[in-house]
Structure 1
Amino acid sequence: MHKNVTSAAVAVLVGLGTAAVAAAPAQAAAGFAFDDRISGADRFATAVAASKLLNPTDGTTTDAVVVNGYATVDGLTASYLAGLRSAPILYTDVPGVPAATAAELERLGVEHVWIVGGTDRVPQAQQDAWEADGVEVTRLAGADRYATAAAVATADDQGAPEQVFIASGTSTADALAAGPVAWARNYPILLTEAGGVPAATAEALQDLGTTNRVVLGGPGAVSDSTYAALGGRERISGADRQETAAKIADDAIAHDSFDSQSIALVGGTDATAADALSAAPVAGAGGVPLVFTGFDGGLGAGTATYLSAHRADYTTSGTGWVFGGESSVRQSTVDAATAAVQ
């Protein structure tokens, strides 16, 4: 089940009308812009917009992953599960399934809903309603975020994955930055505490059986002693979430066949985490890495430096995506990103 993005994404890329990864010589970035915004009226509608980009043809998608739109920590690792099923990530809310989500599930022709999170996040009544409509439902949940992540990571029975990501369960941006790679390459994401390894995470690592364990985030997020206890083989980290995301992007390009000519910009605050999560399937299918805006809503020094350093890579064959509306990524920030690559 561990597909390679270079083969799995080609059909999707053709459907999206974007260019696949190609060995073309670097050119100046003249004409490249962050001018493809994927957004809706709210996080639910933005997730639907991403789903429509991933799956433009009605009635052709059998699986969808559903998480609570206001408790995305339960869904931090859902990008891996969605990748296993070539599925979008859609959002629900405790009072009821938003109309936009319900309509998208109907449009897609979903036959199997994968819920990530317990009944306090996605009520049993919603599961019952889907099942009453003839939809198969599988719920993956645990006693806490660490156990939920472990349940997601061990849901596949296709053997040991090539690699496992491990990120902080409280500093959630690092896991989100790796979402596209997890989707495309079927790398599970497990969560840890900064000062110790939760029992559920340790058990999942043993069950998965892979020794290629990549820790995301610096010692402030995952201490050196915890890194050692996890059996980490590599740490990808920067001074902050922006720099860590940039280094994850570089690693995805260098080792996971991601497209160096394209880049996606998402909000870098905890409040915009939902947009980053729902972006993972589209970005993963296209082999497009994610970078974050600054915590204050501006472009931020880390991302500005990264984009400027890679300006020669971004060509008119690539795409500059923005996920989320102006409340998540201001147009002035988008303009600053475009200026950074010129």
Structure 2
Amino acid sequence: LLGAVLTAAGTPAGAANSADEVLVTDQLNLPTREFAGATRYHTALALAQRYVDDVAGVTSVIVASGADRSLVDALAAAGLAGAVSAPILLTRPSRLDPGVAGFVRDNGIADVYVLGGPSSVTALVLTQLRAIPSVETVVRLFGDTRYETAVAVAEALPAPGTWCGTSEVSAVLVNGKASADAVTIGPLAYANEVPILLTGADELAAVTAGYLIDDFIEQVVIVGGTSAVSRAVADELGNLGIDVIRIAGATRHETAVAVAEAAAHCSSIGFDVRQVALLNDRSVADGVAAAPVLGHGLGDAGVTPAILVPRYSGLRLPAAISGWLERIPFETAEGLVDLAITAVGGKSVVTQETVNLVKRTASTEELLVATGWTVANVPDDEGNNVVVSVSFSHAVNAAAEGEDGFASSVLNRSNWISVQGALLAGDTIGYDAATRTASLTLRGLTYGTDPEADAVRPGRMFLIVPGRIRGAGSDDRVVEKGALTFTVPAPTG
């Protein structure tokens, strides 16, 4: 039997070159978190929308109760989500959440998997789902216990997958009361399309053992230390002829790091060293819903690792988390690493203080940011113009249209939003490499306070679209938060 144990690694060996939070622009063109809903239901919807935007041909969804007492039903969802290419949505137990109904309708969803029995998701919710015109099948997956529900979900997979390049049909096993371990393994279970099963700390449930035998599972990946899943359970698996791998740490944070490092060495999937997601270590709802998005990857290089952070971090992060952030490589074959940090949940779930602490811990060099702005009237023979000059902390990509790299160029008009919205046809952008300064010429405008003029007035804002403009040459950092917005000052003199 294999009997391998994967644990969090030791000595730091460098950190990312720079790190910053990934933000999107809201309806007012202001930076905001992409996955920060007013409630857990809204956050799950935002995650699901990102999933269908990134994954082609989505026709299935998984729906689970968002109530705290029933969230255990959703712990086993990630493997099924990977097998059927489905996002995970949360609903209220007694009625279908309107946002879920709208999502299913607007995305033409045909197949719905509902997790949990009638006490978790009532029959009315299933009736409301079946009434949506696009829906063809609604299947409830449940059992009398959390262990039976997890097995029911596992049995819905077309076929259990194999683990990280091995040829053995595999399943993941976590303590049914250790939700943090299930959350952190979710993206990896999604990517490998393996079921997540639940167990007690000291005894393997009979229904779980039966599934392992009946479905010819050859390898089980235990997530969590021996206090979560004891050696006795591992021995019982061995007695069934099943190989065992354990991914573990002494704490939930160490286990999350061990999972991230296991993902980095998983030969069957990609792993994105430029991305990391922050999950509240007590917020099961957001973590469960994030599994498909992180398993597919927020970038284009593979699975996005998820690390657990406390809601309020104080002056330091858990040692396991800070150590892992310090080990992130600062450079790859493609260039310097700018670590993109995505917080899942609003600022009451993952505080800005915590995000800032993660940024500082993960960085060895200052961010690539806009450091200064000036604005002036510069009329010419054709009339009034306003020139906005923006200086940067480091040289930025200035590829011209038609050249390689133009998409991430400071000269690309789509990377800027001015006071009137998108740059207009006559507006121009120039860049002085010697001073690291971009100049935006806004044609036909006047800088001033005249309410009758077509003016760039004080208080209006310019915005650099986050994550688009890259550094020059091999500098792969992107202009992120820093000084993203510039508020026009009142003229002087």
- Which category describes the TM-score, using the shorter chain as reference length? 0.7 to 0.9
**Cα distance in structure 2, aligned partners of 1:57 and 1:189:** 24
Please state how far the C-alpha of 1:295 moved relative to its aligned partner.
6.8
Partner of 2:427: none
**Cα deviations by residue, 1:207-233 (Å, 9 ceiling, x for unpaired):** 221221111100110111111112351
2:400 aligns to what? none
Deviation for aligned residue 1:59: 10
Q: How does 1:1-342 map to 2 (within 5 A)?
A: 29-36=16-23, 37=33, 38-56=35-53, 60-70=57-67, 71-134=70-133, 135=135, 136-158=137-159, 161=162, 162-231=169-238, 233-255=244-266, 256-269=269-282, 272-286=283-297, 287-294=303-310, 297=313, 299-312=317-330, 316=337, 319-342=340-363
Normalized against structure 2, the TM-score is what? 0.60
Gaps of 5+ in 2: 1-12, 24-32, 163-168, 298-302, 364-493
Q: Is the 8 A contact 1:46 1:275 kept in 2?
A: yes
Q: CA deviation at 1:206?
A: 1.0
2:53 partner SS: coil
Distance in 1, matches of 2:215 and 2:128, equals 33
| 3-state secondary structure, aligned to 2:330 | helix
Alpha carbons of structure 1 residues 333 and 159: separation in structure 2 relative to 1, 3 Å: closer
Tell me if structure 2 keeps the 8 A contact 1:164–1:212: yes
CA contact (8 A) 1:160 1:210 kept: no
Structure 1, unaligned stretches of length 5 or more?
1-25
**Contact 1:160–1:209 (Cα < 8 Å) also in 2:** no
1:319 to partner: Cα distance:
2.9
Contact 1:154-1:207 at 8 Å conserved across structures: no
Aligned Cα root-mean-square deviation (Å): 2.3
Distance, in Å, in 2 between the alignment partners of 1:283 and 1:88 is: 11
Query: CA 1:195 to 1:84, structure 2 compared with 1: closer, same or farther past 3 Å?
Result: same
Larger RCO, structure (CA 8 Å, separation 6 or more) = 1
How far is the alpha carbon of 1:100 from its aligned partner?
2.0
Deviation of 1:133 after TM superposition, in Å, equals: 3.1
Output the TM-score relative to the length of structure 1. 0.86
2:260 maps to a residue whose letter is A
C-alpha contact 2:15 2:325 (8 A) present in aligned 1:
no
Size of the aligned set, in residue pairs, is 315
Q: Which amino acid aligns with 2:173?
A: I
Give structure 1 regions of 4+ aligned residues with deviation exceeding 6 angstroms.
none
Is contact 2:312–2:353 with CA below 8 Å preserved after alignment?
Answer: no
**Equivalent-residue separation in structure 2 for 1:283 and 1:57 (angstroms):** 11
CA distance in 2, matches of 1:237, 1:59: 34
CA gap of 1:301–1:113, structure 2 versus 1, over 3 A, is same
Q: Which has the higher helix share?
A: 1
- What percentage of residue pairs aligned between the two structures are identical? 34
| Alignment match, 1:10 | none
Superposition deviation, residue 114 in structure 1 = 0.6
* Compared CA separation, residues 160 and 27, structure 1 to 2 (3 A): closer
Larger displacement relative to structure 2 (254-263 or 191-200): 254-263
Superposition deviation, residue 129 in structure 1: 2.0
Give the whole-Å Cα distance in 2 for the aligned partners of 1:318 and 1:107: 34
Distance 1:119 1:313 in 2: 51
Deviation at 1:99, TM superposition (A): 2.1
Whether the 8 Å contact between 2:15 and 2:362 is mirrored in structure 1 is no
2:391 aligns with none
